[in-house]
Amino acid sequence: MRNEEHIKSFVKRSGRITNVQRYFLKNKKSNHNFFTPTETINLYKLFNNKNPCILDIGFGDGKLLSNIANINTNFNFIGLEVYESGIGNILKQIENSNLSNLKVSNIDAVSFLKKYVQDNSFYGISLFFPDPWPKKRHYKRRIINASFLEGLLMKIKKNGFIKIVTDWENYGERIIELLDENKKFEKIQDISIYKERILTKFEKRGISQGNRIIDLTYKVK
């Protein structure tokens, strides 16, 4: 493995936690929508059905993911977020919408995929506005690189998809290069479940700043 695989793409920060977030975080271990994997996950046991499953990496405040899960009940969703405020937010949203098709964890995505996910598990994997690490000396911390994409390929079923959205132009252009260079990916039109999605807070901010939203969807051949 190359060194870039071992460099964390995030830095844990102790941000502000609201009382509501704190309540759901305090009770997360007894919440059946939260899980901490200790062995290879069995998606059928996790959701008690055989619906196709989509993994969302870094769901932020959770509003987009919970909204998509609420609309698309014939799909299962796993959301990963390392920041506690996001976990607290989405557990509240899951309870409010009574969602049974969305499970979340605060495990790092790279560790999760390497240690706990069988190959050919997911119908799709999405990353909305991954940290762009804008300073050149920090590019090595960007989660999306050639080896990371190869790892995702192993976990996505044939004819499944990968979806990546960013408003950081040089990051987006590099991601396009990586996807186009890999002959196992084929660019396609957007997946139907995302065509009328709500905007994330990062997307709204990017639009207000005049940034181009780079919205990519590729099929796994």
Does 33 fall in a domain?
Answer: no
Does an H or E element contain 172, and which?
A: helix 169-181
Among candidates 46, 20, 19, which has minimal Cα distance to 105? Answer: 46
Instruction: List pLDDT tens digits, range 153-193.
Output: 999 999 999 999 999 999 999 999 999 999 999 999 999 99
Buried b (16+ CB within 10 A) or exposed e, 83-119: bbbbbbbbbbbbeeeebebbbbbbbbbbebbeebbee
DSSP labels, 92-107: HHHHHHT-SSEEEE-S
Does 115 fall in a domain?
Answer: yes
Q: What phi and psi values does residue 37 have, to the nearest 5 degrees?
A: -65, 140
**Is the model's pLDDT at 3 over the cut of 90?**
no
CATH number at residue 95: 3.40.50.150
Does 19 fall in a domain?
Answer: no
Does an H or E element contain 127, and which?
A: strand 122-128
Q: Count of domains in the chain?
A: 1
**Contact call for residues 111 and 143 (beta carbons, < 8 A):** no
**Contact call for residues 57 and 130 (beta carbons, < 8 A):** yes
- Which domain, by its residues, includes 129? 42-220
What residues are annotated to the active site? Answer: 131
**Is the model's pLDDT at 9 over the cut of 60?**
no
Instruction: List pLDDT tens digits, range 18-51.
Output: 988 887 888 887 889 999 999 999 999 999 999 9
Q: Per the structure block, which two tokens stand in for 125?
A: 């994997």
Q: Per the structure block, which two tokens stand in for 109?
A: 């995505």
Does 17 fall in a domain?
Answer: no
Q: What is d(CA 114, CA 97) in angstroms, rounded to the nearest whole number? A: 31
**Is the model's pLDDT at 138 over the cut of 70?**
no
Does 128 fall in a domain?
Answer: yes
Q: What is d(CA 172, CA 142) in angstroms, rounded to the nearest whole number? A: 11
**Is the model's pLDDT at 81 over the cut of 90?**
yes
At 12, is the pLDDT very low, low, confident or very high (cuts 50, 70, 90)? low
10 Å Cβ neighbour count for 187?
A: 11
Does 104 fall in a domain?
Answer: yes
Average pLDDT over residues 197-216: 94
pLDDT at 26: 86
